[in-house]
Amino acid sequence: EIVLTQSPATLSLSPGERATLSCRASQSVSSYLAWYQQKPGQAPRLLIYDASNRATGIPARFSGSGSGTDFTLTISSLEPEDFAVYYCQQRSNWWGFTFGPGTKVDIK
Amino acid sequence: QVQLVESGGGLVKPGGSLRLSCAASGFTFSDYYMSWIRQAPGKGLEWVSYISSSGSTIYYADSVKGRFTISRDNAKNSLYLQMNSLRAEDTAVYYCATCGGDCYFFVYWGQGTLVTVSS
């Protein structure tokens, strides 16, 4: 099973600052990595798929990069609505899908 | 617009059964692979099961294999999850979601239905 590790667990930033979130896989997942945003009481929302493609309707301040085992989600300038939990997710084979434990971005 | 509405959650005793449903609208349901994903209270996301568009290919997480059964009715635009032999650790919000691409990620999610397994 491929394990995803996210860091940091919590990121405390102010609106307007840049957020850099990391996701590391225990073995290569090629570019088959997605990122989701989840706010309290809401379902997750797809942000990025295939490591670097923004989903429909996602603002340009969200960007994804990486391949193999190391991936990054960057929010270029935090808006008030961006404070949430972010999860990475992979499916690289038929052992199934796995999610990372999440990074909480909260207001400093 | 795409809408996924889960139902069927509730309180059930350990060892009991429950059947979840997901009603889909706003897209051609029969064209899409579908999944169930769950989230225990205060915890992260866990993939549960996946079914191909025709229903011919199905996968389960090891944690539910042999106890849960995923199915779909394309004529009714509906996805199901039959859950048997429920355990306390199955307590979670259960989401249905559409797959993207060849099901490498999850595009649209329902709002979820809460399943609580407790005596």
A32-67 pLDDT per residue, tens? 999 999 999 999 999 999 999 999 999 999 999 999
d(CA B114, CA B119): 16
Q: So what's the pLDDT on residue B68?
A: 98
Percent of chain B residues past pLDDT 90, beyond the cut: 95
Q: Give the closest-approach CA distance of B47 to chain A in angstroms.
A: 6
- With b for 16 or more beta-carbon neighbours within 10 A and e for fewer, the A16-28 pattern comes to eeebebbbbbeee
A contacts of B107 (beta carbons < 8 Å): 46, 55
Token pair of A55, please? Answer: 């989903």
Q: How far apart are CA B90 and CA B97, in angstroms?
A: 18
Instruction: Kindly determine whether residue B44 and residue A55, on different chains, have CB atoms separated by under 8 Å.
Output: no
Q: What percent of chain A has pLDDT over 90?
A: 91
Could you say which of A36, A45, A96 has the minimum Cβ distance to residue B47? A96
- pLDDT tens digits along B18-52: 999 999 999 999 999 999 999 999 999 999 999 99
